[in-house]
Amino acid sequence: MVCAQNSWCRLKGIKVGRDSPSITHLLFTDYLLLFGKATVREASILDDCLSEYMAWSGQKVNRAKSSVHFSKNLRGQPLVAIMDHLQLRKLPSKAKHLGLPLIIPRSKGEAAVEIKEKFLKKITGWKAKILSQAGRTMMIKAVAGAIPSYFLGYYAMPNAWCKDLDRFLKNFLWGYKVKKPRNLSLKGWKSICLPKCGGLGIRLFSDINTALVSKLAWFMISQKERLWVRVLGGKYLRGKSVMEAGVSVGDLWIWRSIVKY
């Protein structure tokens, strides 16, 4: 229904760049994201699509768990009119889903601090003293390393931030207080982070970051049919290859990360 409205030019969706495809909807498991121009007319069209779907399927939209997000340039009466028409609340700027922020701040520092605090909260809750070193190693590899993996996979994080997370894990491994700045270690952390033939197989966060973001660059070269590749390519490439692309002030964080690696 949404695609039909878009093909009839009644629903415009959103475009990240002039040559990027128009996006009207995204699906993730049982979650649905709908996009449109910030007008009461397009809001009404989206609402009609949802009403028709509910009539066909017997399912119902949970408006208490749904919300609407606007561009920062929209304010005042148009914003209120759309929310009133849809009977939805405005999405909070720091809203989270499955523990991850739905809106990524433009400030690297703000995003990095929030992830670091979540990481610290997790590992400080573990009782390092009652675990053997093998147990602490397993906790690091199975749990701690996965906490910041979402951001490490999409954004080039500051090097100092990666080193801080490495230090927290090093202190936990040796049974020290996690936030303590300096401790006596029996073996260098970089040698511990070597493969199992010479180390424990724990990976440095900077290496994880480089590998995962480089994978995005490879996808942009080899899998051009993907939606996100077409969106970013339409905005930044414009006929050029990723290897020829550059960055400028105001570019998205994810794009600057891809070009960096």
For residues 88 and 34, what is the distance between their CA atoms, to the nearest angstrom?
13
60 vs 216: CA distance, rounded Å: 37
Tens of pLDDT, residues 158-210: 888 899 899 888 888 887 777 777 777 778 888 888 887 877 888 899 999 99
Residue spans of beta strands (DSSP E) within the chain: 25-28, 31-34, 67-68, 89-90, 96-97, 100-101
Domain ranges of the chain: 2-91, 105-261
Count other Cβ atoms within 10 Å, centred on residue 205.
22
To the nearest whole number, what is the mean pLDDT of the chain? 83
With 80 as the cut, is the pLDDT of residue 130 above it? no
Confidence at residue 148, expressed as pLDDT on a 0 to 100 scale? 81
111 alpha-carbon distance from chain centroid? 10
Between residues 97 and 42, which one has the greater pLDDT? 42
CA 181 to chain centre: 29
Report residue 114 as tokens. 């929030």
Q: How many CB atoms lie within 10 A of CB 46?
A: 21
0.85 exceeded by pTM: no
The β-bridge relationship of strands 25-28 and 67-68 is: unpaired
HSE of 44, CA atoms in CB hemisphere, 13 A: 5
Q: Are strands 100-101 and 89-90 parallel, antiparallel or unpaired?
A: unpaired
Distance CA 136, CA 154 (A): 28
Q: What distance in Å separates the CA atoms of residue 95 and residue 100, rounded to the nearest whole number?
A: 8
